[in-house]
Amino acid sequence: MRVEAPISPEVRDVAEKNVEQAREAYGRYITATQKMLDTLDDASRQVWSGAKDVNMRVLSFAEANAQAGFDYAGRLVQAKTTTEFAAIQQDYLRQATERLVRQIGEMNDLAREAARDIVEKAKPKG
């Protein structure tokens, strides 16, 4: 035998309010989670973008250095005297040092820019 009992309006109101509060809390949780994921996604894109920029710059340095080495070798084989040979070597070492200093400066600038962009992207929005 089953006994039916009415549910009072007060109990129903409390239950409805609890469901609505749970729904709102869940909505806030989902919104906060989505914002966090968006921030992580932006930061990871920025990191990968920065890494790609660094890799491309390193590749351009390698190409420039290799070309300079080939040019140097070509000039060396054309030397007619030991004095000219030594002058070519000295000139190459000077240019290589200047190139290295410039490349290190560019890498420092690139790393600083990438780090700044990552920090900016990681800051909470709003």
- pLDDT means per 10 residues, the chain with 126 residues, are 83 90 92 86 75 87 94 93 95 96 93 82 69
Q: How far apart are CA 86 and CA 46, in angstroms?
A: 47
pTM value surpassing 0.85:
no
Q: Does residue 34 belong to any structural domain of this protein?
A: no
Domain around 69: 40-122
Q: Does residue 7 belong to any structural domain of this protein?
A: no
Q: Does residue 29 belong to any structural domain of this protein?
A: no
pLDDT at 11 (0 to 100): 85
Question: How many structural domains comprise the chain?
Answer: 1
Q: Does residue 31 belong to any structural domain of this protein?
A: no
Q: Does residue 106 belong to any structural domain of this protein?
A: yes
* b/e map 23-41, b = 16+ CB within 10 Å: eeeeeeeeeeeeeeeeeee
Q: Does residue 1 belong to any structural domain of this protein?
A: no
